[in-house]
Amino acid sequence: MTVITAAGSALAGNPFFKPYNTPYQTIPFNELKNEYYMPSFEEAMKQHRAEIEKIVNNPKPPTFENTIVALDKSGELLSKVASPFYNLLSAETTDEMQQIAEELSPKMTEHSNSIRLNEKLFARVKAVYEQKDKLKLTPEQQMLLKDTYDGFADNGANLSDADKDVYRELSKELSLLTLNYGQNVLKETNKYQLVITDKELLKGLPADVLDMLAENAQKAGKTGWLINMKATSYVPVMKYADNRDLRRELYMASASKCMVGGDYDNRENLVKIANLRLKIANLLGHKSYADYALVHRMAENKENVYDLLNKLLAAYKPAAEKEYAEVQAYADKNGAYFKVQPWDWSYYSEKLKAEKYELNDEMTKPYFELEKVKQGIFWLSNKLYGLKFTENPRIQVYNPEVKAYDVTDADGKFVAVFYADYHPREGKRAGAWMNDMKGQWMEGKKDSRPHIVNVMNFTRPTATKPALLTFDEMTTMLHEFGHALHGMLTKTNYRSLSGTNVYRDFVELPSQIMENWAVEKEFLDNFAVHYQTGEKMPAELIQKIKDADNFNIGYLALRQLSFALLDMKWHTLEQPFEGDAIAFEKEAMTPAQVLPAIENTAMSPTFSHIFSGGYAAGYYSYKWAEVLDADAYSQFQKNGIFDKKTAASFRKNILEKGGTEHPMVLYKRFRGQEPSIDALLKRNGIK
């Protein structure tokens, strides 16, 4: 293991420069201070540059070990500093951290460029790569060599000196723009507050939602009920509020975020981001950013992406149009004198679902107490993979709401640390995600195990009720835990190939397959008990959940397809965009549009997945992976949903392998064949 030292007394006492005296060397969050970050990053980059120089100046001929493996092992201190900083920037940010991030962004980009554009370093990498057929490497070593070479070639290493300078400037500008875009979305979301003082306006809302809104107001020093833009507030109001004007006001506020002027308007940012990505792709010899990005995806090219999207569009659009007509008919029957609009959809859909299946969220929520759901998911991971989760209060956490667990296998051997962070806060961005606090790799013969976090935004407990989840939230929890399993069970030699370091359109398979158990009675029976009576969820209610699983499936599919089409439209541009971004978006999404399009609303200014996340030219991967997960789960259905042999194969061939081989090779090794869309269409009742 590399020994990390601090240079100079200015860094004395800084926890980053000494071994962590914590369980499993977990991050000592209690010791971290904002003033430590910038000097730590600067020292870490300095040490990383020294490590690179050592590789470059090695007098021995370049080999796989002294160049490729040495590169993979370099930058340990930088990873040690960056991991808590960027995790907290998403889950526990402050104005001060955001200012640090803005100052840091160009420095980190320049640091990365100084490595990727280092001619002597690339010459060594290239020399090893050109010998690849003679080196007798394992498949994992072959993948590390390929990824390392491509990491240089795809980031400008083959460019002329003049073009390298252009690349440096473009990438620095892009890094800062994407950071600002994401911060604008968070700030605009946090800024919105609607205080209601007349309870009559909130008619239709369940008691627990009213309690939550009252607590929101109390915390803000207001009287009444406070609605914000967090999903825990916005979603139930859109679903249950009888007051149509209130629903419309909320919808318009949400759908026009970051596009109405002011400090947080993202319209200019998103166009600049799209055009910068195009410039970088052109500089690297590609017609569009999608052509550049898809080289390292299962889909391989934009033609294959559009082929899948168009097939799914043809399959699901008739169902979606039928569903819209059904919701409209239901609204008409119940006194509506208008065409159902986006702010009406959730409201009338929920009522139709309740009538059609005698099922609604308020019937299921009492059985989905957050703590019980978590224990149920732990039970499932034990049933499938023999894992055990034990809360460890000695592991420091970054917020009192976060819980940390020791994860062990069937033999009691340590597997990972798991952090669970489930409730919204001002400093946390919206959505749900998995990340690692520390990856996995081999240090000689020692397996350095990972530390994984799941972050979500579920309703907190109130004074009268524990935290209760909707069925969709329970499914989200399963989804993110699937990513966590991918991170926790990884078993690779090299850190850059471990866990979720896989092709973007493969990374959602381990997460989406977990959602299949959400409707299985044998799973629900083990945790779904009423929080007041302790009684198990009745079999007839479980059957209703199963029966309703495909309710509005066409609409939901088209919604995802519309996002994927928008992403591809922005990233298949072959000329710089100079038009109206909002009109451009409407054109992109029209083929998958079922609900009426609304003026002065747009997705692009807040589409963080593609403009500040890692899904640029990759949003289609949710549907791509859905095809994989339906096909893979059919194997469990065939052999038994808790079948140990099938689970062992999925663990060995998918979850443990990370990015050590091509995803299709891994998938076929598990499944015995390539996937088809048939299993998905059958699961959704389309075929």
Shortest CA distance to 614 belongs to which of 484, 440, 433? 433
Q: Is 245 exposed, middle or buried (0-12, 13-18, 19+ CB in 10 A)?
A: exposed
Element (H, E) at 483: helix 471-488
Q: Which of 169, 171, 172 lies closest to 154, judged by CA?
A: 171
Handedness of CA 449, 455, 458, 461 (dihedral sign): positive
- Are the C-beta atoms of residues 683 and 556 closer than 8 Å to each other? no
SS3 readout for 173-196: HHHHHHHHHHHHHHHHHHHCCEEE
Quickly tell me which residue has 């930058």 as its tokens: 75
Output DSSP code: residue 468.
B
Q: Which long-range contacts (CB under 8 A, 24 or more apart) does 65-70 make?
A: 67/124, 67/125, 67/127, 67/128, 68/125, 68/128, 68/144, 68/145, 68/148, 69/144, 69/494
DSSP 3-state assignment of 225? strand
Of the candidates 517, 514, 485, 515, which has an alpha carbon nearest to the alpha carbon of residue 500? 485
In angstroms, rounded to a whole number, what is the distance separating the alpha carbons of residues 518 and 321? 27
Whose CA is closest to 227, among 239, 208, 240, 214? 214
Residues in the chain, overall count: 687
Is residue 362 a contact partner of residue 356, using CB atoms and an 8 Å limit? no
- Residue 556, C-beta contacts closer than 8 angstroms, at least 6 positions apart: none
Among the listed residues 158, 118, 126, the one whose alpha carbon sits nearest the alpha carbon of residue 145: 126
Q: Supply angle C-alpha 654, 132, 501, rounded to 5.
A: 30
Mapping DSSP onto H, E and C, the string for 48-92 reads HHHHHHHHHCCCCCCCHHHHHHHHHHCCHHHHHHHHHHHHHHHHC
* 543 touches 656 (CB < 8 A): no
d(CA 168, CA 46): 19
The answer to whether 143 and 661 have CB atoms below 8 angstroms apart is yes
The answer to whether the CB of 259 falls within 8 A of the CB of 611 is no
Residues known to be catalytic: 480
| CB contact at 8 A, 280 and 163 | no
SS3 assignment, position 273? helix
